[in-house]
Amino acid sequence: MTRCLLAFLVLTAAAAQEPAVFREIGRATKELAEISGLETRKPVPYELIDRNRVEKFLRERMREVIKPEEIRAEEITLKKFGFVPREFNLEQSTIELLTEQAAAFYDFKKKKLFLTDWASSDMQESALVHELAHALADQHFDLDKFTKGAGESDDSALARMAVMEGQATWLMSEVFARRNGSTLIGNPALAESMNRASESGAEQYPVFSGSPLYLKETLVFPYAKGLLFQQAVADRMGKEGFTEVFRRPPTTSQQILHPEKYFDRVQPSVPDLPRMPGRGFKTLTKGMFGELDCQILIRQYASRERAETLAPLWRGGQYHVREYRKKGLVVLSLAVDWQTQEAAEEFFAFYRNLLAQKWTRLDVTDESATRLTGRGDDGYFEVTRDGSVVRSVEGLERPAAR
């Protein structure tokens, strides 16, 4: 979903105001190399730019890497799930959000570091270190190629973003911790405090604060949860961990949220999607519906507490969005597998309440402990539970047959 829009550029919410900050490049690169074991292979070009150039750059880059039909497909998908309101404009909102947040960035296509001129001076040095960490990783692992390695799986793409942003955030934090006579190594409490700072710091930005929960969470996730993931990797593998996560990247948001699953190489199940009736449909988008997706969905339509207890029981999931443009039909198919039948029962009950909230119309025609059918705002639907798997198909032209 929208996470692939955020993946075309490596961004960080930090800033620069005066060119003098660039004098710290030599010192910072030496510190980063010492901590990570990754040597700088060549100098990193850099430039100071203003807000207008950042917005122009983002629009041009988006046109280069994302086709208009892909943006449309992602917007439709977010609306079908109920992650964003019906009138939401994904392209414009993404540009506004990234322009506000991208006060510093490393462009891994041009191999150049940019710092903007509009933020406070106390953020200058941290921004520089963060972006130099990206440049260092790029020289060793080719970040452009790395981001494309996730294939069609958007959950895997987000996991790779968490590797890049989490490692850069961790290295930036470790540089300043060492300058103050401390270290994150073996100090999970310090890492957790920095994680909380990453999550809360973004709320100071008006566009971010007013954005849908899904966009906020998927933007912050790579930095905050990626930091904790890198902390676990560094504590277990030492310097080797900075290379290992690029050579064997995590494959799911679950592995980022639960690093032990990364170490144990736990892979998700792939539950079958519900049968799709009718012909004439074209695929808009499809992919993994990961633990983070479940977490955000439950948090948005229930509560944070319920999300924190139920989402970790996710075992696997996928979705498929198809369109029949001549008939004006868009069908969402979803399947989520849970570790226990009890968790599936809870998600089934939750999903029934979700439908009642995201639609203005919910006409139920058949309801039991394992099946729910009826009609909503955009057509007929069917939600079923088969053991530990919950399936849903929404937007049908006619009622689902038994």
Query: What's the N-to-C CA distance of the chain in angstroms?
Result: 31
What tokens appear for 216 in the block? 């906020």
Please say whether the beta carbons of 330 and 322 come within 8 A.
yes
Spans of the chain, pLDDT less than 70: 1-19, 101-103, 119-122, 198-203, 277, 402
Backbone angles phi, psi at 158, to 5 degrees: -65, -35
What's the confidence (pLDDT) of residue 291? Answer: 98
Helix ranges, 153-303 (H): 154-179, 188-201, 206-209, 213-237, 240-247, 253-257, 259-263, 291-301
What's the confidence (pLDDT) of residue 239? Answer: 95
d(CA 216, CA 97): 9
What tokens appear for 100 in the block? 């506000």
**Tens-place pLDDT, residues 117-174:** 775 666 778 888 999 999 999 999 999 999 988 877 789 999 999 999 999 999 999 9
What's the confidence (pLDDT) of residue 12? Answer: 46
Q: Which of 75, 64, 69 is nearest to 2 (CA)?
A: 75
What's the confidence (pLDDT) of residue 180? Answer: 94
The SS3 of residue 397 is coil
Please say whether the beta carbons of 286 and 320 come within 8 A.
yes
What's the confidence (pLDDT) of residue 103? Answer: 63
The SS3 of residue 39 is coil
For 272-331, give the secondary structure using H, E and C: CCCCCCCCCCEEEEEEECCHHHHHHHHHHHCCHHHHHHHHHHEEEEEEEEEEEHHHCEEE
The domain ranges of the chain are: 3-263, 282-396
d(CA 377, CA 50): 44
Backbone angles phi, psi at 343, to 5 degrees: -65, -40
d(CA 97, CA 309): 30
Give CA separation, 255 vs 4, 72, 147, 294, in Å.
18, 29, 17, 14
Q: Which neighbouring-strand residues pair with 19?
A: none
